[in-house]
Amino acid sequence: MITFRRSNGMAAFLPGLATCLVLLDTTSPVHAILSQKEVLSHIYNGLNGENWDVTWDTSSADVCSGTAYPGVICDDSNSNIVEIDLQDNNLIGTISPHLYTLPYLTKIDFSKNVITNAGWDKIDLVLNEDELPSDIEVIDLTNNKINSLEGITNIADTLTALHLSYNNIKGPLPEEIFSLTHLQLLAISENGLTGKLDTRIGTLTNLREFYCYGNEITGHIPSEIGDLTKMQV
């Protein structure tokens, strides 16, 4: 919003121009769209990149270079990032939410690291109002230190496989799980889950594989599990 005001009831003039007070409406901030190289730099910095076992050369502009960015996989045109595989690479800290703005990204494997926050809770802060997150389908964060799924619903429309076994997710099955209706695979074994298995598990009708062993889930298996007709036995 731009508002023009008179000063003391009289128009004040600069040479040929009216003086105005410009008030900016900051309720819908516009974020700069980052290049793929800039996104990789955010990931590198947020996850202690200098101490990775196999590191990146973030000064390189060629994001599809296997030498500069090992673990980054591009499409057939060798121009768009589609996968990032950084498993068992001493990643420590928080995944940048900018990761989920990569428009062609479909899979990440950051398993066997020391990641404490997946960055889902900040996705809406880095997207513009009419901008959609990446079309990510597979997230593998097995064997990390994740303790929350807050914000994961930002990528619910495309996510089909979520690997979260061997993390620090405690208490009942997180509420966010039941919004991930496109999931075909959910692995959440060996966490600190407790209580009964929520009957809403039956709403995840696309599930084919569900792993939750090594928790403290008690009680009977709810009858709604029968609604998972695609489940592989």
For 136, residues 6+ apart whose C-beta sits below 8 A from its C-beta are: 100, 105, 106, 107, 108, 155, 158, 159
Pick from 84, 141, 138: nearest CA to 114: 141
Q: Which two tokens stand for residue 230?
A: 């695609």
| Alpha carbons 183 and 104: distance in angstroms, whole number | 19
Which pLDDT does position 232 carry in this prediction? Answer: 84
Which pLDDT does position 27 carry in this prediction? Answer: 46
Which pLDDT does position 133 carry in this prediction? Answer: 85
The C-alpha angle with vertex 33 and arms to 30 and 34, in degrees rounded to 5, equals: 135
The per-residue DSSP string of 114-128 comes to: EEEE-SGGGHHHHS-
Residue with tokens 């590191």: 55
Radius of gyration over alpha carbons of the chain, in Å? 23
| Alpha carbons 28 and 198: distance in angstroms, whole number | 37
- Our CA dihedral for 123, 127, 131, 136, rounded to 10 degrees, sits at -30
* Grouped pLDDT means (10 residues each) for the chain, 233 residues: 35 37 42 86 98 98 97 97 98 97 97 98 85 90 98 95 98 96 98 95 96 94 92 81
Which pLDDT does position 13 carry in this prediction? Answer: 35
Q: Model-level pTM? A: 0.85
Kindly tell me the sign of the dihedral angle through the C-alpha atoms of 46, 50, 55, 60.
positive
| Alpha carbons 100 and 154: distance in angstroms, whole number | 9
| Alpha carbons 173 and 178: distance in angstroms, whole number | 9
192-196 and 209-211: which strand pairing?
Answer: unpaired
